[in-house]
Amino acid sequence: MKKLLAALGAAATMSLTAFSAGAQTYPERGITIVVPFAAGGPTDTVTRLVAEAMSKDLGQQVIVENVGGAGGTLGAKQVADADPDGYKLLLYHIGMATSDTLYRNLPYKTLESFEYVGLVTEVPMTILAKKDMAANTLAELVDYAKANADKVTVANAGIGAASHLCGMLFMSSIGTPLVTVPYKGTGPAMTDLLGGQVDIMCDQTTNTTKHIQAGTVKAYAVTTPKRLDVLPDVPTTTEAGLQGMEFGIWHGLYAPKGTPAEVVDRLSKSLQVALKDENVKARFAELGTTPSPEADATPAALKAKLESEIARWKPVIEAAGQFAD
Ligand code: ASP
């Protein structure tokens, strides 16, 4: 429908007028948010909490659809191609920015294929290993990884995933490439880490906190400047002796390009309400993260963040020299 409208000239203007009229009564049916990773992982967890609160505010069901693969770019492509009517949205993280450099042939245009709804949250990362890993500190893990580089496996959710970015930074900071194992999301990757089928993973606290607290994985460091209240015994990467690994995984909510401004505005308002929801705040706190402030849950803030993050990561990724087609 999107492409047809573009070709119809005057008729398109009439259709768009009708569309705007529809925007005033939006939403009239359920909304789908595409999570570009497998169910049960960190992006899924954040999205389901936000979707539930947005449902209450919008008076319509907001359901989550998991479209995992290729570091999140498959799900992003699906939303880029969707009708721009506000009924199919995308919740994607920092991968929206890093994929722009990582992929030589991205099947959409990062800065042109989407409307921006707003920032959702920024989540710390944790460096983990399977429970019976011999190393007890990050320094010991680095020594072990260097000595066993051809057999140490590192799980990630594909090129463009946060776990991929963190693993890439880890390998470049220790100067040793390790064996990477891609999954459709760190939900299934965590299952393998818990089962001991994979050795190391770097993943968001929204997926790792409960396992660290339960002692079912070994945690070596968090990527924040300060320790987290929910994980007081886990040192920061800097404290643990690894430089250049302070970063957070920010998430944004997007709509397909051409979604009417009134609809985007309604969605931003709803996102702002959801981020103040008591359940969202409480669950985010338990998971070691906080909702984005109201001023950031806006199209302008998300656009600015995406642009600055593309610029920030481009030279880092180019230096690491890992690209995908
Ligand atoms: N966010 C991904 C997921 O939900 C994992 C990642 O980006 O590493 O599975």
20-36: per-residue pLDDT in tens?
556 789 999 999 999 99
Last residue of a domain, one of 187, 222, 257: 222
Q: Is 158 in the pocket of ligand 1 (CB under 6 A)?
A: no
Q: Are residues 86 and 133 in the same domain?
A: no
Is the pLDDT score of 213 beyond 50? yes
Flag whether 158 is in a domain. yes
40 and 115 co-located in one domain:
yes
Tell me, yes or no, whether 106 and 128 share the same domain. no
Assess whether 217 and 130 both reside in one domain: yes
Token pair for residue 125?
Answer: 């990362």
**Has residue 4 been placed in a domain?**
no
Residue 58 forms part of a structural domain: yes
Average of per-residue pLDDT across 13-18: 46
Pocket test for ligand 1, best of 49, 207, 223 (most atoms within 8 A of CB): 207
Per-residue model confidence (pLDDT) at position 19: 52
Phi, psi at 120, each rounded to 5°: -110, -50
Mean pLDDT taken over the chain: 93
Domain assignment of residue 201, given as a range: 124-222
What are the tens digits of pLDDT across the range 273-301? Answer: 999 999 999 999 999 999 999 999 999 99
Query: Under DSSP, is residue 74 helix (H, G, I), strand (E, B) or coil?
Result: helix
| Residue 227 falls inside a structural domain | no
pLDDT tens by residue, 133-151: 999 999 999 999 999 999 9
Q: Which atom of ligand 1 is nearest to the CA of 184?
A: 9
* Residue type, position 186, single letter: T
Verify that 262 and 293 share a domain, yes or no: yes
Same domain, 113 and 34: yes
- Confidence (pLDDT) at 322: 76
204 shares its domain with 271: no
Alpha carbon of 156 to ligand 1 centroid (Å): 8
Q: Does 325 map to a domain?
A: no
For the chain, how many structural domains are there in total? 2
Is 128 found in the same domain as 108? Answer: no
- Cα 204 to ligand 1 centroid, rounded to whole Å: 8
Q: What is the CATH number of the domain that holds 58?
A: 3.40.190.150
Ligand 1 pocket, mutate which of 35, 37, 201 (most atoms under 8 A from CB): 37
Give a yes or no: residue 89 inside a domain: yes
Does pLDDT of 2 surpass 70? no
pTM of the model: 0.92
154-166 average pLDDT score: 95
Instruction: Please check whether residues 205 and 283 belong to one and the same domain.
Output: no
**pLDDT reported for residue 24:** 80
Asked whether residue 77 falls in the same domain as residue 135, the answer is no
**Is the residue at 90 inside a domain?**
yes
Which residue do the tokens 């880092």 mark? Answer: 316
CATH classification at residue 134: 3.40.190.10
Helix H segments across the chain? Answer: 2-7, 10-25, 42-58, 73-80, 95-102, 138-147, 162-174, 186-195, 205-214, 261-275, 278-286, 299-320
The secondary element (H helix, E strand) that includes residue 220 is: strand 217-222
Shared domain check, 191 and 157: yes
Which of 66, 61, 24, 60 has its CA nearest to residue 47?
66
Model confidence at 10: pLDDT above 70: no
User: If you average pLDDT over residues 200-204, what whole number do you get?
Assistant: 98
Decide whether any atom of ligand 1 lies within 6 Å of the 42 Cβ: yes
Same structural domain for residues 111 and 162?
A: no
Residue 161 domain-assigned (yes or no): yes
